[in-house]
Amino acid sequence: MKTGRIQHRMALIIRSSLIHAAGCYTTTPIRKGARVIEYTGHPLTKAEGDRVYDSSVVTYLFGLGDGSMVIDGHSMAMFINHSCRPNCETEEIDSHVWIKAIRNIAAGEEITYDYCLYDGGEDDALCNCGAEKCRGTMYSRAEMSRRAAGKSPVKPRARRHAEPRKARKKNPVRGRIAAAKRTEPQ
């Protein structure tokens, strides 16, 4: 439905980040609830992602649905860093992953979300967010509990190397998979 109004687009830029190398920043204010950017890229099966990035140090994979499919991120969204006190969250709608503001974000702020990583082998996935209540890892609370209990990964996979392979979500760090909150279409 056209209203005759010009659609305002957010201006996002990539620049140095104190969290991790480069980060994604907004140059305009963003209101709570707004979709900031879609996490886009080529869809792959988890097995294809593991194979393609088997020997890569860095990957940007984002898990979809039950984890059997991933998005191989190739857009500005792949530069959004993890934070234990994020200003955004991810939401999956019809196999699309959106980064959505969970509070008002001021111009100049770095865009962040909680990666909720899982499936990372022996890697600690150390967090560098600097939040007052940083949990010290980018793994989800459920994954941290699973590891503390000494349980095996939810979906074990074959390994050919000592280091873990990648598999899900916008994963700026190798061997880890992240998950989006799933929302049913309206």
CATH number (domain holding residue 126): 2.170.270.10
Residue 153 lies in a domain: yes
Torsion on CA atoms 119, 17, 136, 69, rounded to nearest 10: -10
Residue 3 lies in a domain: no
Quick: pLDDT tens for 62-102.
Answer: 888 888 899 998 899 999 999 999 999 999 998 899 999 99
* Per-residue confidence (pLDDT) for residue 112, from 0 to 100: 98
Distance CA(62)–CA(54), nearest Å, equals 16
Looking at residues 93-115, what average pLDDT do you find? 95
Residue 6 lies in a domain: no
Quick: pLDDT tens for 36-53.
Answer: 999 999 999 989 998 998
Residue 5 lies in a domain: no
- Provide the whole-model pTM: 0.77
User: In degrees rounded to 5, what are phi and psi of residue 96?
Assistant: -115, 140
Residue 7 lies in a domain: no
Q: How confident is the model at residue 150 (pLDDT cuts 50, 70, 90)?
A: confident
How many domains does one find in the chain?
Answer: 1
Residue 1 lies in a domain: no
* Per-residue confidence (pLDDT) for residue 60, from 0 to 100: 86
120 lies in which domain range? Answer: 12-182
Element (H or E) spanning 88, and its range? strand 88-93
The residues that bridge with 64 in the sheet, in sequence order, are 69
Q: Quote the mean pLDDT of the chain.
A: 79
Residue 83 lies in a domain: yes
Residue 2 lies in a domain: no
